[in-house]
Amino acid sequence: MQPDAEQISATVFAALADPNRRALLTALAEVGPSTATELGTRLGITRQGVTKHLDLLEEAGLVTSTAGTGRRVLSQHRTAPLKIAQSYLAALAADWD
């Protein structure tokens, strides 16, 4: 396990504690790169709310943002931090068995 796996996992768990952020990640996994407006329409969340949640997800490494055409910013989910958190939990579970 990576030495910083506990810190990465803690950040992932904190980011995933909010149901709106979990819904955003699910939507990004289902439809691929999307704008805040597209995500807000899909989930019934204001664009400003989506942007706030995407910023927190990006800080946790779960989302990346790239420039689209014009002023559009596309967000995309990342699985690497989730895999680290999954490994962290698996190591803890192994100690319990």
What is the reported pLDDT for 85? Answer: 93
What is the reported pLDDT for 3? Answer: 57
What is the reported pLDDT for 59? Answer: 93
- Measure the CA–CA gap between 16 and 18, rounded to whole angstroms: 5
Give the number of other Cβ atoms within 10 Å of residue 25's Cβ.
Answer: 22
What is the reported pLDDT for 5? Answer: 87
pLDDT of the chain, 97 residues: tens digit per residue: 555 889 999 999 999 999 999 999 999 999 999 999 999 999 999 999 999 999 999 999 999 998 877 777 889 999 999 999 999 999 888 877 6
What's CA 58's distance to the chain center, in Å? 7
* Burial zone of 72 (CB within 10 Å; 0-12 exposed, 13-18 middle, 19+ buried): middle
